[in-house]
Amino acid sequence: MERLIYSDLLKWKDRSKRKPLILNGARQVGKTWIIREFGRREYANMAYINCESTPLIEEVFRDFDTRRMVTALSAVSGESIAAGSTLIVLDEIQEYPRALTALKYFCENAPEYHVIVAGSLLGISLHQGVSFPVGKVDMMNLYPMTFTEFVMAMGKTQAAEMLQNCDFTSASALNDFFIELLRQYYYVGGMPAAVKSFAEEGNPHEVRKIQKQILADYRKDFSKHVLRNEAERIAMVWDAIPQQLAKENKKFKYSDVKPGSRASDYLLAIQWLLDAGLIYKVTRVSAPKMPLRFYEEPSVFKLYMNDVGLLGAQMDAPAKDVLLGDNAFSEYKGAFSEQYVLSQIVPSALPIHYFSTNDSQMEVDFIVQAEQRILPIEVKAEVNVHSKSLRTFIEKNPDLKGVRFSTLPYKDQDWMENVPLYNVEKLIKDNNQ
C-alpha cells in the first residue's frame, strides 16, 4: 500500500541539514510498516531495533558517545552500519526515553547517519517529563490513511490521480463511482490493517473484527499507562464521543459523560487521549479572523475519534447501513461525514476550529485557517443541501467565501463552492500552499 507521506520521507533523506527524524502517530496507523518500506526501497540496508523487545537496549545507550552507540546498534541489529547508506531505526522509542535523548548527540556529533525513530505513545511520554531534544530533530506525524490513500489501496490508480489533480470535470462524470468508494471508506476507515483486509477480501465482517481488536488494544493502553481511576475516566470520555457526535448539537458536555461531572474531572483524561493521537479536539472561535487562536473559547469544543471506521465500530453501525444506499450520509446526524471531513483536514496541520452562536441558531461545522484565507466549512450529509447557517454566516462576513462538502458534484456559487466529499483532502492541500 502506498502512503502519501513517502514523498516527505524522501525530502528528509535528501535534505542537506537533515536531523534525526521522529515519526509520531497513534498505535496501528502504520508507522513501522512505512519506515521499513522506506528503508527497504531507499537504503542499502537497515538496522532495525525495537526498544521494547531488545534486551540490551540499556547497554546501547549507557552513554552518548556516538561512535560507541553506532557500534552497539550494529551489534544488536545484526547489520553493518555505514553513514548515508544504512537507515538506523529505533521503534517504540517511548519505552526507553534515553534513546530519545541520544538523538541530540546524533544531530550534533554524527549528522552523517540517517536515523528515524517511531513511537505510538510518544506524546504521553513527553508530558510525563521525558527530556526532548528541542531543535535537534525533525518531526513528522502519520495519521490513518486518507480517502485518496484508500482509493490507491483498492487498486483504483486512475481514480486516485483524478482526486490528486482535483479534476472536477472528470470526477463529476464519475460521481456515483466515487460516492460508492466513499461509502466503503466510511465503513473501513483508514487503519492500514482494515484497509488491507478489505482490499484483499472485500469482507466487511473481517474488517469489523480488525477494528474491534484495535479498539480493544486502545483500551489496554488506558490501563497500562495510567492509574486505575484515571483509566476509568479516559474510558468514559472515549465511550461518550460517539453519542456526543450523534446529537444535533455536537458540543462536548461533561454532564453527558456522567451526570454532575465538572471539567476538572475529565481534563486529564481528554489530554491523555489527545496526546495518544486517539482523538481530535475542535475548539469554538468567537470570530472568523486571523489568527483564529486569538479568538478561541477553550471551554467550548467538540471531540472526534481519529478514524471514521473506528467510529462506526465503536457505534456498532451495521455494515448494511453504511455500505448500502445513503444511510451512511444521513444517519447519526451526519456524524460520519463530519468525522470523515475532519480526518482529511487534520494531516494538513492547518488550524481547525468551529463557529456557533450561544443559542445554537447558527453553526458552521469547521473554520479552517489556510495560508491565504479563512475557510468556513459546512458538511452536508443529506440529499437536502440547503445551507442556511453557512449563508447567514457569509452574509455577516462578506469578505469570506464558504465551502460546502456534500455528495453533489462540484459547483461554484460565487458566495460558496460546493465540493464533493471525496475531494476534501485535495481542496485543503491546495489552500495550504
Instruction: Note whether 300 and 288 are within 8 A (CB).
Output: no
Which residue in 303, 295, 309, 72 sits closest to 187, CA to CA? 309
Task: Report the Cα 160 to chain-centroid distance in Å.
Answer: 19
**Can you give the residue ranges of every domain in the chain?**
6-141, 147-431
Residue 325 CA to residue 317 CA, distance in Å, equals: 14
pLDDT (tens, 9 = 90+) of the chain, 433 residues, equals 899 999 999 999 999 999 999 999 999 999 999 999 999 999 999 999 999 899 899 999 999 999 999 999 999 999 999 999 999 999 998 888 889 999 999 999 999 999 999 987 776 655 455 567 889 999 999 999 999 999 999 999 999 988 888 777 777 788 889 999 999 999 999 999 999 999 999 999 999 999 999 999 999 989 887 778 899 999 999 999 999 998 888 899 998 898 888 888 899 999 999 999 999 999 999 999 999 999 999 999 999 999 999 999 999 988 888 887 666 666 666 889 999 999 999 999 999 999 998 876 789 999 999 877 899 999 987 656 666 889 999 999 999 999 999 988 888 889 999 999 998 987 777 776 6
373, 360 Cβ separation under 8 angstroms: no
Name the grid cell of 125.
511520554
Grid cell digits, residue 269: 483524561
Cα 334 to Cα 186: distance, rounded to the nearest angstrom: 12
CATH of span 6-141: 3.40.50.300
Burial class (CB in 10 A: 0-12, 13-18, 19+), 372: exposed
State how far the Cα of 331 lies from the Cα of 338, in Å rounded to an integer.
Answer: 12
Name the region of 414 (left: φ>0; alpha: ψ -120 to 50; beta: rest): left
> pTM of the prediction?
0.93
